[in-house]
Structure 1
Amino acid sequence: MDKIPETPLFDREGSLRGYKMNKMAMALGTQEGRDAFLADEEAFIDKFGLDAESKKAVMDRDWQEMIRLGGNLFYVLKITAVDPTPIIAVGAAQAGMSVEDFVRERLGKE
């Protein structure tokens, strides 16, 4: 299958690479998981055995990097349940745009 330039595809390879990060993000679907993340983010992440690169991406809230490393967007977005990052900011990061440009160009709002 041809790849789309500069677009990380969530294929089998990506799924395997991002498994631990996705599992960690999925755990944020419970109140217990969110409470543990908020109490000690690093300890919570370490519990899932993320590699250093994935851990840094999560802690830096580097949405593009999380996806590049095999994060499934539907799981990665669960991080926004414990982080004040608005979903529009995640969309803008994915598009490589500022939030203002994203809102104007992609959402048609001023």
Structure 2
Amino acid sequence: MDADSIPDTPLLDRDHRLRGYRINKMAMGLGDPANRAAFKADERAYLDRFGLSEEEKSAVLSRDWREMVRLGGNLFFILKISAVDPVRITEIGAHQAGMDHETFLRDRLGKKV
């Protein structure tokens, strides 16, 4: 293991950023209302417009937030996907941590649930 690595944490280096270009570009496009409508109407067709790999499409279609980040997705960009559903950011945090939402709120954020 690299001395600069953190277990289970993707390193945001040049290669990772380049790998995530397609998924990030697709997610940024969701800032446009017409693109959001196209995404809602046919997600797979919308993803095809950006040339996403099957692995990337699978992560987006299943809303696997952790996998999207592993594949190079920038959290600030992929949050635009969550706005379409909508999904609370704390739910994404729970998914990233491998926890259910209530446990995440209680144990990570100190919230009473």
How does the TM-score come out when normalised to structure 1? Answer: 0.95
Unmatched segments (≥5 aa) in structure 2: none
Structure 1 counterpart of 2:51: 49
Unmatched segments (≥5 aa) in structure 1: none
Trace 1:32-43 onto structure 2 (pairs within 5 A): 32-43=34-45
Q: Once the two structures are superposed, what CA deviation does each residue of 1:49-81 show, in whole Å capped at 9, x if it has no partner? A: 000101100000000000000000000111011
Give the C-alpha shift of residue 84 in structure 1: 2.5
Structure 1 counterpart of 2:17: 15
Give the C-alpha shift of residue 91 in structure 1: 0.8
Alignment-mate amino acid for residue 84 of structure 1:
P
RMSD, aligned α-carbons: 1.0
> What is the rounded CA distance, in whole Å, between the counterparts of 1:9 and 1:58 in structure 2?
20
Tell me if 1:62 matches 2:61: no
Tell me if 1:82 matches 2:84: yes
| Percent of matched pairs sharing the same residue | 61
Give the C-alpha shift of residue 105 in structure 1: 0.9
Question: Segments of 4+ in structure 1 off by > 6 A?
Answer: none
> What is the rounded CA distance, in whole Å, between the counterparts of 2:38 and 2:103 in structure 1?
35
Give the C-alpha shift of residue 28 in structure 1: 0.4
> What is the rounded CA distance, in whole Å, between the counterparts of 2:54 and 2:18 in structure 1?
16
Alignment-mate amino acid for residue 48 of structure 2:
D
**SS of alignment partner, residue 5 of structure 2:** coil
Structure 2 counterpart of 1:100: 102
Paired positions, count: 110
